[in-house]
Structure 1
């Protein structure tokens, strides 16, 4: 307790260093039958979708629109802000973006569970490279039993920690002020629920210029031949299933290499591309935007997507029979 008191005295300006403001004391939400633990130091959603535990794939099966991408998509296209727009056309959406993912995992899930949405909206930060990440390889490579033990072991550990720290001071808040996050996901629509998170509050003001830097141009020339092959594989699968593809790229506040690669590749693929960058979005973690910025972005992007003639047409298209 002496150490904790000294730590509090040393930096009382940092909110999480003060015991009375500990988020554990404030009450972190419990997992419910509608949620699952997606992230806690490691990404768990891959295991849940690989083995369809607790029927996490069910809502994706029934969705008219799947939102695909990596963690930028998780934070930016939040269901509570895109669904009111989809409601105008009578469409159901589901966020099937995976933290740390490229396009391989979503494509695998679509094939594995034979999903037939009317449309996919893709955040194409190198998504169409279809890279296999370590998370995907681990989920399938370890087998159902080992994945089960890992997933539920991490979940139980988190729940024990959460309830314990309602009684015992959380030492990490005092000894390690570095932010970490705990994210639940809704089984109903894939919405992220930030059970434990910090907000940086930095405005993401940078936007891509008209042309990439010479270094980015050189990199694009190197990766483009392979990306032509992988993007063709993904798009063929979508065409075979009659799925409309809408591409966008979200703000990374860096070199925008993924943006320029996507634009260059789409000169050949000729799919719908909708711009989705604004100079007034606020960071929650790094380039990942907060809830208010997500709403601002959805109020800007979703009307433009829904106004597309192709989207208007598919809204009138009868849905394939869904379980």
Structure 2
């Protein structure tokens, strides 16, 4: 069949194969570094959102293997390819993109990511809800497809593109992300992002930040969000690279994100797609960590 691959083996325990219309297709054989191992799939399978067609919300039962669809999105994020350049052994690119778009628009990627984060925190001996976090931003060059309405020039970093604002817990796991034009100030974005994060994580009481978040934001966080914003400053007499307390946590997360090539630049036409890619990047990290350190039983 055109566009199909012969790299399939019979049998798959995903919902699309068990209850949907994917029974005519076999299970795809993993072949790329971004593909989930069997140990990762055992972690992921029970955490996936239940499709709407299985909950009586209408829609056609899915015809493509969930594991293959997930591996396709992971491949795109990890390797930075174009949607239309999806390898032939994955489902058709437009079906993979439709899945990505559905999870983006309905908040399912955030739900899936949150379940993985809770599992990682539990395995690390932490409470599910964090009480402390770190905030930072990272400017990245935007591709030509990014319109002028969502891009800008960061005069400090001399970058024409977008800025990723992230809040992470003390393990470096993502609590929230917001993508803006690169000329949006850190304090302006932080007011919105911290509002979202505190609404989702009610036990959060302390956030560490760098000197770019000083000023009225400190009072705003305390008065409006009951949140202590603690500024970790670099000493004026320090020279060269210095690891600063707490701030290194979020810097490490930014480094994790830059390992996935789709995030080396901003290729997304819409900012919510750029945010979804960040969540997908973190799911790769967490599934690998869970499978490697604590293999899940069958």
TM-score (structure 2 length as normaliser)? 0.26
Higher helix share: 1
TM-score (structure 1 length as normaliser)? 0.24
